[in-house]
C-alpha cells in the first residue's frame, strides 16, 4: 500500500510502503580485467606499483566461483529478492551464474565492464563504449537488458547520467545526497537517482575498517531498534554484500541474521530492492518536473 505524505518538500509526495524505512538488498558481483586486480583486499599492504597482485585476483575470483552461489542459497532460504550489480566481464566468463540469478527471481543491474574501469577517468567516447560493452555482455549472458547501473567506486563522470538515460536505463545508484529517489534531467531524458548508503556494507566495514563481521548486523540492529525515535520521514537504507567478501561462510551468517532482523522489524521497515523502488518512483514521477 502506498502512502501520501504531507511532510517537507525534500520528501517524496508519495511513498510505496506503509513503513517509513525501505531496506534495499543489493549484491555486488565484481570482476577486473586480466591486467588488473582489486586495489583493496585482506592482505592490507599493497604491492609496489606495476606488480600484478595475484593474491587479490584470487581473493576476488571467489565471488563468481563460490560466493554468489552461497548468496543465492541464503536468499532462497530467507525468501528475499535482491538486485545483483554485475561487472560485464563476470557475465562473459560466468554465463551459467547469470542465468541462475535470473531464474531465482533476482534482478541483474550493470556495474561497468570491470571494476578498474572508472567513468571519472574516461573520455565521453570511452565511457560510452564501455557502457555498450557491459550492456551487451549482460544481455548476452542472461537474456535481459539491465535497467539499473552502479559505477565502480560509486563514482560517475559528468557524462554518466546522460549516457545512461540515452541508453534507456531506468535508474543509477551513484547517489549520496538524498534519503529517497528523485529524477535527474539530462539532455537525453530523465533517469531516476537511487540513493545508496554505506552504513550496512561489508566492503567498508570489514575490509577497509577491519571491523568484526558481526558489526554488519549490529549496525543494522541499532538502526532498526532506534528508528522509531527518528520519526516518520521516509528513508532508503541499503543492505549490501559483495560476493567475494560476505559470500564466504562468515558473511553468509551475517547476511542471514540481518535478513531475519529486518523481518522482525516489519512494523517500521520494508525489505525491498532498487528495482522495486525504481519501478514505483519512475511511474510516480512520470510527467512531474523538478522545479
Buried b (16+ CB within 10 A) or exposed e, 223-243: bbeebeeeeeebbbbbbbbbb
Cβ–Cβ under 8 Å, residues 85 and 29:
yes
Residue 258: per-residue pLDDT: 98
* DSSP at 161: H
| Residues forming beta bridges with residue 271, ordered by sequence position | 23
pLDDT in tens, 107-152: 999 999 999 999 999 999 999 999 999 999 999 999 989 999 999 9
SS3 content of the chain, % helix, strand, coil (to 5): 40, 20, 40
> Which pLDDT band, with edges at 50, 70 and 90, does 8 fall under?
very low
In whole angstroms, what is the distance from residue 230 CA to residue 246 CA? 29
In whole angstroms, what is the distance from residue 12 CA to residue 20 CA? 12
Among 50, 2, 22, 34, residue whose Cα is nearest residue 194: 22
Buried b (16+ CB within 10 A) or exposed e, 38-52: beebeeeeeeeeeee
252: its cell numbers: 553468509
In whole angstroms, what is the distance from residue 7 CA to residue 146 CA? 34
C-alpha distances out from residue 185 to 18, 154, 194, 221, Å: 29, 19, 14, 36
Question: How much is the CA Rg of the chain, to the nearest whole Å?
Answer: 19
Mean pLDDT for the chain? 92
Instruction: Flag whether pLDDT at 255 surpasses 90.
Output: yes
Instruction: Flag whether pLDDT at 4 surpasses 90.
Output: no
pLDDT in tens, 44-88: 788 888 899 999 999 999 999 999 999 999 999 999 999 999 999
Residue 260: per-residue pLDDT: 97
99 vs 39: which has the higher pLDDT = 99
DSSP string covering 38-85, please? -SS-TT-SPPPTT---HHHHHHHHHIIIIIHHHHHHHHHHHT---EEE
> Which pLDDT band, with edges at 50, 70 and 90, does 43 fall under?
confident
Q: Mean pLDDT, to the nearest integer, of 257-272?
A: 96
* DSSP at 153: G
43: its cell numbers: 592482505
> Which pLDDT band, with edges at 50, 70 and 90, does 208 fall under?
confident
pTM of the shown model: 0.93
Residue 72: per-residue pLDDT: 98
Among 242, 237, 229, 243, residue whose Cα is nearest residue 269: 237
Residue 55's CB is within 10 A of a number of other CB atoms, namely 13
> Which pLDDT band, with edges at 50, 70 and 90, does 11 fall under?
low
Among 90, 139, 95, residue whose Cα is nearest residue 247: 90
Q: Mean pLDDT, to the nearest integer, of 170-180?
A: 96
Which domains can be identified in the chain, with CATH numbers? 17-30+54-284 (3.20.20.370)
In whole angstroms, what is the distance from residue 275 CA to residue 291 CA? 25
11: its cell numbers: 520528501
Amino acid at each position: 500500500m502506498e502512502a501520501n505524505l504531507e511532510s517537507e518538500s525534500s520528501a517524496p509526495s508519495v511513498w510505496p510502503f506503509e513503513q517509513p524505512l525501505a531496506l534495499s538488498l543489493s549484491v555486488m558481483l565484481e570482476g577486473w580485467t586480466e591486467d588488473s586486480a582489486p586495489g583493496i583486499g585482506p592482505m592490507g599492504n599493497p604491492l609496489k606499483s606495476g606488480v600484478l597482485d595475484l593474491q587479490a585476483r584470487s581473493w576476488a575470483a571467489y565471488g563468481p566461483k563460490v560466493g554468489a552461489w552461497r548468496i543465492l542459497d541464503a536468499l532462497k532460504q530467507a525468501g528475499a529478492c535482491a538486485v545483483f550489480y554485475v561487472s560485464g566481464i563476470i557475465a562473459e566468463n560466468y554465463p551459467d551464474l547469470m542465468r541462475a540469478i535470473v531464474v531465482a527471481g533476482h534482478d541483474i543491474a550493470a556495474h561497468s565492464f570491470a571494476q578498474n574501469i572508472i567513468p571519472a577517468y574516461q573520455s565521453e567516447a570511452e565511457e560510452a563504449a564501455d557502457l555498450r560493452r557491459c550492456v551487451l555482455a549482460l544481455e548476452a549472458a542472461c537474456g535481459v537488458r539491465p535497467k539499473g547501473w552502479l559505477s565502480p567506486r560509486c563514482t560517475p563522470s559528468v557524462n554518466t547520467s546522460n549516457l545512461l538515460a540515452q541508453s534507456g536505463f531506468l535508474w543509477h545508484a551513484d547517489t549520496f545526497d538524498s534519503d529517497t529517489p528523485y529524477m535527474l534531467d539530462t539532455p537525453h531524458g530523465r533517469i531516476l537517482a537511487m540513493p545508496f548508503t554505506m552504513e550496512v556494507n561489508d566492503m567498508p566495514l570489514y575490509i577497509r575498517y577491519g571491523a568484526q563481521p558481526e558489526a554488519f548486523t549490529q549496525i543494522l540492529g541499532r538502526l532498526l531498534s532506534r528508528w522509531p525515535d527518528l520519526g516518520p520521514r521516509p528513508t532508503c537504507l541499503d543492505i549490501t554484500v559483495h560476493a567475494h567478501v560476505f559470500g564466504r561462510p562468515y558473511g553468509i551468517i551475517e547476511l542471514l541474521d540481518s535478513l531475519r532482523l529486518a523481518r522482525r522489524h516489519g512494523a517500521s521497515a520494508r525489505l525491498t530492492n532498487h528495482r522495486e523502488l525504481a519501478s514505483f518512483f519512475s511511474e510516480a514521477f512520470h510527467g512531474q518536473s523538478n522545479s
